[in-house]
A and B are shown apart, each in its own frame.
Chain A
Amino acid sequence: MKNRGAKSSSPAASLPKCPTGIQGLDEITSGGLPRGRPTLVCGGAGCGKTLFAAEFLVRGATQFGEPGVFVSFEETDTELKSNVASLGFDLAGLTRRKKIVLDHVYIERSEIQETGEYDLEGLFVRLNHAIDSIRARRVVLDTLEALFAGLPNEAILRAELRRLFHWLKVKGVTAVITAESGREQLTRHGLEEYVSDCVILLDHRVNDQIATRHLRVVKYRGALHGTNEFPFLIGEEGLSVLPITSVGLNHKVSNERITFGIPRLDAMLGGRGFFRGSSILLTGTPGTGKTSVAACFAQAAARRGDRVLFFLFEESPNQIVRNMRSIGLRLEPLIQRGLLRFHAARPTLCGLEMHLATMFKEIAAFQPAVVIVDPITSLLAAGSDHETKGMVTRLIDFLKGGQITSLFTSLTHGGHALQQSEIAMSSLMDSWLLLQDFEGNGERNRLLYVLKARGMAHSNQVREFLISDRGIDLVDAYIGPGGVLTGASRVAQAAHEKAEALADQQEAARRRRELGRKRATLDQRIAALRSQYETEEAELRRVDAQAGTRTRVLRAERTELARLRQADAIRTAARAPGKPRSKRQR
């Protein structure tokens, strides 16, 4: 009977879908539940079947203009109204406006005596009446299995259920039937035998004391659907399923670069900082200043006008605001201006998926441009490595899809610098900054280096970074023969180098002075030589003059002698001009 019903109404064309309005579910099922057919929602106690069903109806009535009938076999109308009011569903108002009819079917086995043949026509009549009274398009039967407890004759019941599901199809309503999950089959009483079009399994699992809800579309006849288990949560606005594994690698990328807030770090990345929309991993051992660096990044982004959402898993917002004030970061004004928002939660509060779901909701609500998770490793405690990687992948995918820049801090434990989980996680990240402690000479100093930066030229130098009351700054680390010099050694090294430079300068000056002195000496000697030369020259001239005089005297004497001897050979010579004069001068 059920098969005939199903086959007669499955045309070659794509199946008409009935959107549930439940966040994410319509994406998994590519459109919703099969329209005009019953869907079985099964799961254990407390996994959210009733809320699922209620949301299906409420969304139908409020968003899709499809009135609905809620037949409850367990909860009374009043109970149901107050239960779903916690999700913000105004069931009472909807019933008043005739958008939803609540019908509580109450069966008490002890009141019922069975004699002879019967059928469930009464239920059909009730349902039919309820559907017709508001022209309902949606029906919820929660939980039909109560009938098994209330009615003794299972054979009749099964025959009637079969008739009921067929009747629902003929009626053309989209129905959600909830059922308890059984041990060996999907439902305790094998209802899946009758509802063959769509089966959704809800699950509430506890792993390491942390419970996570999962939803899986077990079966969806005639339609493609995601077959994975999808985490879902019941929040203030109803259910939300996270179909995040469907996200592919086709994000748009931005060429815009954004500053990190530490000028020297930007300089290490070609002077322009990181790409907008990229993911940054910041790993470090305890006390290396991961949170401070992250807060610095947050402040720079918020000052730029970007909205920043800061997820804290270790500190409270007030604590971080106070702590950051001590290093000169003033976060309160940014919070007040609505540019910075903290979301603090203990990692052990709930499961990974729940955390992820909460983060998604926060991100969707706040629409940030920058998301910071401090630290992502806290979440490792809430799940296995594999799960965490899956979660981070989905988170990164989600953030990249929205062009949101993300910074994840990751705690490494002392001793080994890189842990397996981080290596696994780092492959998902675009950039990886490593903060390290360097211990030596009786002190510990912090080092930072860029381990990877996709698509950016970056410095391969290790820098020392200093946290002071004026913020964070990077300084060059000295690489000495014994390794990297930091802190006091770096200062000592700097002083040493300064002293050496000073000594060099002094030496040069000394040489200059010596040279000056040499030149002076030389000049003196030159002057002395010159004066000596001049003396000698003067002497020479005197000697010359003496010699001339003597010659003239001699000549004069000879001339005189010759005159006296009356010789004439010399006369001409005696008449040479000047000679009588020079004789006269002397």
Chain B
Amino acid sequence: MKTRTVKRPASGSPRRPAKPWQLRLYVAGQTPRSLTAFANLKKICETHLDGRYHIEVIDLVEQPQLSKGDQILAIPTLVRKLPQPVRKIIGDLSDTERVLVGLDLRPAD
């Protein structure tokens, strides 16, 4: 099973502080919905953030104690740790437009 699997897509330096976008995806086991969410997230990031991001996937089945820190209730939840302020997006991220609004990449209409 994956424990704090850190995906470093595409290029860029391996040091984290270099990435202005710190994203954390909470899942609970490798459910189809989790996999969909991760795939959707990756696609959006590659399209809109192009290497300026870092995604951390936390599996709560493995590390349940981590659910408290970010107040996770819904699964999957995407937390934008950086840039501030913290944002949460719940769901399988299938609605790209709303994800972009949620990440402040596109102003809400």
Contacts and interface: CB of A to CB of B under 8 A. Distances in A.
Interface of A: 103, 105-107, 111-126, 128-129, 147, 150-151
A443 to B, nearest CB: 81
Contacts of B77: 118, 122
Given A117-B33, A120-B75, A122-B26, A103 B94 contact: no
B51 interface: no
A123 B28 CA distance: 11
Contacts of A116: 37, 40, 91-95
B64, B87, B94, B102: most-surrounded residue (chain A CB, <10 A): B64
B91 A117 contact: yes
Contacts of B90: 112-115, 118, 151
8 contacts: A105-B73, A107-B73, A114-B98, A115-B93, A117-B94, A120-B74, A122-B26, A125-B72
A126 B74 contact: no
Contacts of B68: 103, 126
Give 6 nearest A-B pairs by CB, closest first. A113-B102, A129-B64, A116-B94, A116-B91, A121-B75, A122-B72
Contact of B74 (A103, A106, A129, A151): A151
B45 interface: no
Contacts of A119: 33, 74-75
Contact of B89 (A112, A121, A123, A147): A112
Contact of A115 (B28, B71, B75, B94): B94
Given A112-B90, A115-B90, 11 more contacts: A111-B86, A111-B88, A113-B90, A116-B93, A118-B33, A120-B75, A124-B28, A126-B67, A126-B68, A126-B73, A128-B64
B88 A112 contact: yes
B101 interface: yes
B73 A114 contact: no
Contacts of B82: none
B99 interface: yes
A129 B65 contact: yes
Contacts of A106: 71
B61 interface: yes
Contacts, number: 97
A122 B76 CA distance: 8
B43 to A, nearest CB: 13
Given A111-B86, A111-B88, A122 B67 contact: yes
Contacts of B72: 122, 125-126
Contacts of B64: 125-126, 128-129
B96 to A, nearest CB: 8
A107 B37 CA distance: 21
Contact of A111 (B28, B87, B99): B87
A121 B40 CA distance: 20
B28 A118 contact: no
B88 A118 contact: no
Nearest to A126: B67
Contacts of A112: 88-90
A573 to B, nearest CB: 175
A123 B40 CA distance: 23
Contacts of A111: 86-88
Interface string B47-77: 0000000000000110011011001111111
Contacts of A105: 71, 73
A115 B99 CA distance: 7
Contact of A118 (B61, B87, B92, B99): B92
B28 A122 contact: yes
A125 B60 contact: yes
B37, B74, B86, B89: most-surrounded residue (chain A CB, <10 A): B74
Given A107-B71, A122-B60, A114 B91 contact: yes
Contacts of B26: 122
Nearest to B103: A113
Given A105-B73, A122-B73, A125-B28, A113 B87 contact: yes
A103 B69 CA distance: 11
Nearest to A113: B102
A125 B28 CA distance: 8
A116 B78 CA distance: 12
A105 B101 CA distance: 25
Contacts of B73: 105, 107, 120, 122-123, 126, 147, 150-151
A105 B69 CA distance: 10
Contacts of B94: 115-117
A115 B98 contact: yes
Contacts of B61: 125
A126 to B, nearest CB: 4
Interface string B14-35: 0000000000001010000100
Contacts of A122: 26, 28, 60, 67, 72-75, 77
B91 A115 contact: yes
B37 to A, nearest CB: 8
A4 to B, nearest CB: 24
B108 to A, nearest CB: 9
